[in-house]
Amino acid sequence: MNPDELASLIETHASPLELFARHWCDDPADVVQGAFVRLIEQTEQPERPAAWLYRVVRNAALMQRRSERRRRNHEGHHSGQTADWFEPSPGDGLDSAAATQALKEIDDQCREAVIARLWGALTFEEIGEMTGTSSSTAHRRYLDGLDQLRTKLGMSCQNE
């Protein structure tokens, strides 16, 4: 992979990947950086680097979540994440804090489908490969996630 391609990948996917890993672990930047390092170390570059990165980040974040759970159970306390996941939105857009809160409250499977689709720009086939499901299941989870977000944000369905 040449430096331009790598720089473009970092520019485009680093923040969405952090958002994707944030609801699983406390240190998403570390996980994302590790995924990029693994991508650099590959002798043969993956066919779809973005999908490959999302899959690696997902696995690493889940592993980190397991270790954090063990540590928290051992230490007997929980670390709360209160920071917003999004930059403050100007104008009449969605409130970043409300969007963060709504995303935190929906199902994990629906949330990862929504984030991978909206901010990662992955196709439903790629989301299905990443989660080990079919593209139909990925699409259904995405729609379910949107419905849950609508409910949480107090928005009416477009089709109603």
Partner 1 sequence: MSTRPSFSERPDELEQMLSRLKPREGGVSRDRLMFLAGRQEVLRERASRRRWLWPAATAASWLMTAAVAGLWMQSLVDPARSQMAHDDQPAAVVESPERPDPESALGRPEDSVAPTPERLSATPAAIPATSRPRTDEPGSWRRHPFEMVDTPLNFEDLPRLSMVGWRSMEQARRAQGGGGQSLPTTEPVVTRRATYAYLMKLYLDEQTAPGAGGDVL
Q: What does the binding site for partner 1 look like in residue numbers (CB under 8 A)?
A: 1, 3, 6-7, 10-11, 14-16, 18-19, 28-30, 32-33, 36-37, 40-41, 43, 83-87, 89, 93-94, 96, 99, 114, 118-119, 124, 135-136, 139-140, 143, 146, 149-150, 153, 155, 158
Shorter beta-carbon distance to partner 1: residue 77 or 158 = 158
CA pair distance 138, 141, nearest whole angstrom: 5
Comparing C-alpha atoms, which of 97, 89, 22, 9 is closest to residue 53? 9
- Side-chain half-sphere CA neighbours of 71 within 13 A: 10
Q: Which is nearer to partner 1, 55 or 124 (CB)?
A: 124
* Shortest Å distance, C-beta 87 to partner 1: 5
- Token pair, residue 122, equals 């992955």
Using the minimum distance from each CB to partner 1, give the nearer residue, 96 or 133: 96
CB closer to partner 1, 91 vs 132: 91
Give dist(CA 98, CA 92) in Å, integer. Answer: 13
Closest distance to partner 1 from the beta carbon of 27 (Å): 8
Residue 35 neighbours by CB under 8 Å, 6+ apart: 17, 53, 56, 57, 60
